[in-house]
A and B are shown apart, each in its own frame.
Chain A
Amino acid sequence: MAQRAQAAQHAAAEVHTGHPTPKTYFIVAMILSAITAVEVAIFYATWLGYGIIPVLAVLSTVKFAMVAMFYMHLRYDNRLFSSLFVGGLALAFSVVFALIGLFRFFV
């Protein structure tokens, strides 16, 4: 009962300030640490073979997104900020794939 009231208070604080509370920041940090530990553990799981690449890529993307959404407040801020950042990110990905394509497959 008390826990539920505390959770409601916590959620209300988030809505009121428009930013996460310290508790949310701490939980996100714990999740990020756990994902990093899983990444390192997977790295030593040699039986995964080539499966290691997509698994690590997904975990890394999850970490990236969590920091951007919660710590950089993109989840709570104006969408124009997200557009500027995601636009740059999309261009960066284009550069990566274009360069790899040019120098790896068309030489």
Chain B
Amino acid sequence: MAQAPAVPHGDAADETTTGLSHRKLLMWAFLGSDCMFFGSLIATYLVYKGKSISGPLPEDVFSIPVTSVSTFVLLMSSMSMVMAYSALTRGNIKGFRIWIMSTAIMGMTFLAFQTFEFRDFVQEGLTPRTNLFGTTFFTLTGFHGAHVTLGVIWLLSLFFYSFKRGGVTAERSLDVDLAALYWHFVDIVWIVIFTVVYLFGVFEGFN
């Protein structure tokens, strides 16, 4: 009995008029729209910066050394993500698993830092309802944290899926490429938040 021809996956299946993968194109369109989403949240934070009539204010609660460490962790997670993708494209599935799990762990570490920070702020009297700073800060960083959480779930799904025969392969590397794009985007958004919200936030002249 003749067997049905194998259906190509990932990059191999993408024969489009542009020659580009529609899934990848869609991901870039999504990331472009997410730029606007975070842009409006950052703008709102900046508009209301220095307009709170009562404390706590950024200089009362921010701990730059702690946030610097969590920023470093997120930057390193971006490196391990590209290492995972690189290992997969070279057919090294074991390397892929190690790197993608490292990325997920670093993502979870970042979230742990954020939870610790939020708990600390609440103990110091800053909640989303306290003042304009609290509202805009928690909304912006909360949405970023939600993006990181979604990213961690995505990475863990890929890790577990890689144990299924033919689940994650070099031929289907686009699946991992899309997750990597999302993860790096989360990283670059944090690069902006760290500078604009944290570093400028504590600088007295920036009001």
Contact = CB atoms under 8 A, between A and B. Distances in A.
Contacts of B191: 60, 63-64, 67
B40 A22 contact: no
B111 interface: no
Interface residues of B, number: 51
A4 interface: no
Given A43-B202, A60-B191, A84-B25, 9 more contacts: A19-B86, A53-B206, A60-B194, A71-B184, A78-B20, A88-B33, A89-B35, A92-B39, A99-B44
A1 interface: no
Interface of B: 18, 20, 24-25, 28-29, 31-36, 38-40, 42-44, 46-47, 64-65, 68, 71-72, 75-76, 78-79, 81-83, 86, 89, 180-181, 184-185, 187-188, 191-192, 194-196, 199-200, 202-203, 205-206
Interface residues of A, number: 49
Contacts of B184: 67-68, 71-72
Contact of A96 (B42, B79, B200): B42
B47 A100 contact: yes
B69 to A, nearest CB: 10
A103 B136 CA distance: 15
A17 interface: yes
A93 B39 contact: yes
B199 A39 contact: yes
5 contacts: A19-B89, A39-B195, A56-B200, A81-B24, A86-B32
